[in-house]
Amino acid sequence: MASSGQTVVVNGEHGTIGVENPATGELISTVPVLDAADVAALAARARAAQPAWAARDIEARAAIFRRAQKWMFDNSERVLATVVSETGKTYEDANLTDLGYTAVALGFWAKRAGRYLRDERVPVRDNPLNLGKRAFIRHVPIGLVGVIGPWNYPLVNSFGDCIPAMMAGNSVILKPSEVTPLSSLLMVEMMEACGLPDGVFQVATGDGSTGAALIGEVDSIMFTGSTRTGRKVAVAAAERLIPCHLELGGKDPMIVLADADLDRAANAAAFYSMLNGGQICISIERAYVEAPVYDQFVGKVTDQIRKLRQGPPGGGVGTVDVGAVIFPPQAEIVDSHVRDAVAKGARVLTGGQRRPGAGRFYEPTVLVDVDHTMAAMTEETFGPTLPIMKVHSADEAVALANDSIYGLQASIWTKDLQRGEALARRLQSGVVTVNDALLNYTQLNLPMGGWKQSGLGTRHGADGIRKYTKTQSVMVTRFALKKELFMFPYKGWVSRSLLGFYRLLYGRGER
């Protein structure tokens, strides 16, 4: 059995993984499980292609990605159908994120890569030894990058991480989740159609053993997934001394202060906790609401969530609001968190159980009377639930929000923007939004990454592409003092003169 619960069938030399539609239970395709030898062959092909790709002018690389952007729009219905069929998410969720984000990212990195990767001039005037010299920093492709993607967004956090890696001049091998591999395979077809050289982008389908083999072949690894698996990836990367970038779990808090715009905050709580069925690392997973507005807020949120339509998105756009639970074991995790909360005194205001019938669904759920003894408030649920806790002050809300092993994203809701920003600075989170949530992810020049056990490094912004490069510092001597000054007979005189210079320049401390 694969780790996902998907069936692995022996077929010739390889096993195959059945890909099912979680909204219907229908088997829609199978993909091969590549072994270590297969992955090594892909790596050899990638390494053969990479030098010529890196040698291309960056604008020549960008032209291919601009063509890919057009391809995505021209083939949008096919892209959406593929994503929806293997995830069971709604057409709106797939269009807003998987298609929308990826198309924007193709254009963004094509436009910004040259700016982020150009040589950086470094001043040398601070040290008289370096007069007459020029120094600069280069960003050199690291070589072969491995990307291991998650199942919840088969384009955004899988192929989306490959775009800057390729734009930086690397070859990339993507190992998609065994649950949702079909979208990644479609991206291979897209990139080939748009003129990407053979071997620069490849997909290695398979299970956990395929991912382990990939780490053994690449020069850098980018992983998005659970904190538990992320630790294993980090250990394997450390054994090989290769760079490791991780986006891991989250338990993202929402803090609603008494002066917040309650209608807007309640709408956001309902939308951003249930978007993609709550299967987003930066979705709102817990809410802390000041006592004076708690009952009103809970009422508004519950009314919104109770109205949500759930079911297979087979009817097309606008037919359902919340899709299926994508990952087979996730439904049990969601249900166990709800049952644990209820056993410890929480109340279910709506939802609270698996949806009967075909497919894998969990009802959109609101929990109240919750506290930090409950898994629903401390462990990543990754499903359509929203536990709401009453607090008596902003200070208590901040303390509870920080009481977590995670630190991926958080939001604060208040009409006092100055206070909101001050509270944001106290939160132990890689990203904090004030009066909004999640939309920071669409701002691709803004770094996004987690603190604590939510990950290592960032994606987006300059570091989002530079992490796929090696830094080289270069110093060029344009004209020099006579070489005798640096020979041993003059070493003492030169060193004493420099010491006097340094005392004159820096002896008084900061000025």
Catalytic residues: 247, 281
Tokens 């309640």, residue?
266
Whether the Cβ atoms of residue 321 and residue 327 lie closer than 8 Å to each other? no
DSSP string for residues in 371-428: -TTSHHHHS---SSEEEEEEESSHHHHHHHHHSSSEESEEEEE-S-HHHHHHHHTTS-
Q: How far is CA 430 from the centre of its chain?
A: 12
Round to whole Å and give the CA distance between 242 and 220.
Answer: 5
The type of residue at 324 is A
Tell me if residue 300 falls in helix, strand or coil.
helix
Beta bridge partners of 29: 19
- Going by C-alpha positions, the residue among 14, 16, 13, 12 that lies closest to residue 2 is 16
Residue entry with tokens 């994203």 = 409
Bridge-based pairing of strands 455-456 and 244-247 is antiparallel
Cross-strand pairs, 246 = 223, 456
For the chain, the residue count is 511
| CA–CA dist 417, 430 (Å, integer) | 19
In the beta sheet, which residues pair with residue 407?
A: 451
Q: State the residue for tokens 């690449």.
A: 218
99, 79 in Cβ contact below 8 A?
Answer: yes
CA dihedral 77, 81, 84, 85 (to 10 degrees): 180
Are the beta carbons of 422 and 400 closer than 8 angstroms? Answer: no
Report the distance separating Cα 438 and Cα 96, nearest Å: 12
One-letter amino acid of 233: V
Question: Residue 376 and residue 341: Cα distance in Å, rounded?
Answer: 6
Q: CA 43, 48, 52, 54 torsion: positive or negative?
A: positive
Q: Which of 205, 155, 204, 203 is nearest to 4 (CA)?
A: 205
Pairing of strands 451-452, 406-407: antiparallel
At 116, which helix (H) or strand (E)? helix 100-117
Amino acid symbol at 496: R
Segment (H or E) for 358? none
Instruction: Report the distance separating Cα 313 and Cα 114, nearest Å.
Output: 40
For residue 261, what are its two tokens? 């715009």
